[in-house]
């Protein structure tokens, strides 16, 4: 059993009040809160080790370089990448996905080929492929969903075919909470000679993710969704794939040798990290990884599944008042993300009312506009959990939703 109160004590922001109420933070799919250890790591870097990394021979530079590269090793171990050189620092998952689109896909996707996605992709794993296929005269195909928001694989052999260059799939939907069978999809892609990419932005922070077991060619994720700072993300890719890719950005640090006529590229991972990197946030992400590993990712997964199951049962009260829940009902098929619609209340109005009660949720399209529109609603409200959330907070959320529904229906609170 996790000591959740002990975990909560590590997060200074969870002690504050909002509009006279204790903060109930349930917008973790957008960004997570940061433990004191991560915040202190940022302060410590700037107060004691601030210097540019690599090639410097003075003490501060060498210390900063060691901490920066140690963080890369921690991330590689966290996802079982093996070689730290296969972990590329980026700003976020969106940049990681764009790096693949520009550096790999533009060289490898040909006219008449197709890229396979799901209808639940975040815009970051949709728009780059729309642009690429338009440029390459290629096509996008979608694996359909069933009525619960689970992938329907009944016709998958005709969707992923010999003309499929890439299958790019979100591991856990940020809009539905659905957890997709990525290992099975990866095997299907490889059987047809296609590469396989995982958008792990919502899965890497919440469950054990092993890139070797999945056998994915690429995986993208963000630091700020896993207790780390904003502005730092990762792209994992198999080493032979990275070695065959051209740089995404060029300039300082990513070169081996430069003349007035030409340049050659540095070895991995430097080839993809032009300019002064985000040193402090990479180091702090390494501390966030330490924090998560101290808790144990299997423990986090188990706790959040139990919390999600509890929340799904509590949402029956909302449904009895006319609310509608989206995504699978089985907690084994979903993560701690619950999107819903409330009759007669626009999600933005609901979000504003809940904020008056100190409850932070997300409202809108969640950067999955085509999916949300396909649900037949203007937008949805979304509560998303992390290991520091509690069943008591779920009760507060449900009571807040019901109070808002009564207010809009009866005009009383």
Contact of 381 with 315, CB cutoff 8 Å: no
Contact of 234 with 250, CB cutoff 8 Å: no
Annotation says 367 is catalytic: yes
Q: Residue 220 forms beta bridges with which residues?
A: 199, 235
Of these residues, 186, 216, 234, 367, which one is catalytic? Answer: 367
d(CA 408, CA 347): 12
The full length of the chain comes to 413
d(CA 347, CA 369): 14
d(CA 233, CA 187): 26
Q: What secondary structure, in 3-state letters, does 192-245 show?
A: CCCEEEEECCCCCCCCCCCHHHHCCCEEEEECHHHCCCCCCEEEEECHHHHHCC
In the DSSP assignment, the letter for residue 51 is -
Kindly calculate the radius of gyration of the chain based on its CA atoms and give it in whole angstroms: 22
Return the half-sphere exposure (C-beta side, CA atoms, 13 A cut-off) of residue 245: 27
Residue with tokens 């109160």: 5
End-to-end CA separation in angstroms for the chain: 37
Q: If residue 166 lies in a helix (H) or strand (E), which one and from where to where?
A: strand 164-170
Q: If residue 349 lies in a helix (H) or strand (E), which one and from where to where?
A: helix 347-356
Tell me if residue 148 falls in helix, strand or coil: coil
Query: What separation in angstroms does the CA of 382 have from each of 1, 68, 245, 366?
Result: 27, 35, 38, 8
Structural tokens at position 69: 């590269």
| Active site amino acids | 367
């Amino acid at each position: 059993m996790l000591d959740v109160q002990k975990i909560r004590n590590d997060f200074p922001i969870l002690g504050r009040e909002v509009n006279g109420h204790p903060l109930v933070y349930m917008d973790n799919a957008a960004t997570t809160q940061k433990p004191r250890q991560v915040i202190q790591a940022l302060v410590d870097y700037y107060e004691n080790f601030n210097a540019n990394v690599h090639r410097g021979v003075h003490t501060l530079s060498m210390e900063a370089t060691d901490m920066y590269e140690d963080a890369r090793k921690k991330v590689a171990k966290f996802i079982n990448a093996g070689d730290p050189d296969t972990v590329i620092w980026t700003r976020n998952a969106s940049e990681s996905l764009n790096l693949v689109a520009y550096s790999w896909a533009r060289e490898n996707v040909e006219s008449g080929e197709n890229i396979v996605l799901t209808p639940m992709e975040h815009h970051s794993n949709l728009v780059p492929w729309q642009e690429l296929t338009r440029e390459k005269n290629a096509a996008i195909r979608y694996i359909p969903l069933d009525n619960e928001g689970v992938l329907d694989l009944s016709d998958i052999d005709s969707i992923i075919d010999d003309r499929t260059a890439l299958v790019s799939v979100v591991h856990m939907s940020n809009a539905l909470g659905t957890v997709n069978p990525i290992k099975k999809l990866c095997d299907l892609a490889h059987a047809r000679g296609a590469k396989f990419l995982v958008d792990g932005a919502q899965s890497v922070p919440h469950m054990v993710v092993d890139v070797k077991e999945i056998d994915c060619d690429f995986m993208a994720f963000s630091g700020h969704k896993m207790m780390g700072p904003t502005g730092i993300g990762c792209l994992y890719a198999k080493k032979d794939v990275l070695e065959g890719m051209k740089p995404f950005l060029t300039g300082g640090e990513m070169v081996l040798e430069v003349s007035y006529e030409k340049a050659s590229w540095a070895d991995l991972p430097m080839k993809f990290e032009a300019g002064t990197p985000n040193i402090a946030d990479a180091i702090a992400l390494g501390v966030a990884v330490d924090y998560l590993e101290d808790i144990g990712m299997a423990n986090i997964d188990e706790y959040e599944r139990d919390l999600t199951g509890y929340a799904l049962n509590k949402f029956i009260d909302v449904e009895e008042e006319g609310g509608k829940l989206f995504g699978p009902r089985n907690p084994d098929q979903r993560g701690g993300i619950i999107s819903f619609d409330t009759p007669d209340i626009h999600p933005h109005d609901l979000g504003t009312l809940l904020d008056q009660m100190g409850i932070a949720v997300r409202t809108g399209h969640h950067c999955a506009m085509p999916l949300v529109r396909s649900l037949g609603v203007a937008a949805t409200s979304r509560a998303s959990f992390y290991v520091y959330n509690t069943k008591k907070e779920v009760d507060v959320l449900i009571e807040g939703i019901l109070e808002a529904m009564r207010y809009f229906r009866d005009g009383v609170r």
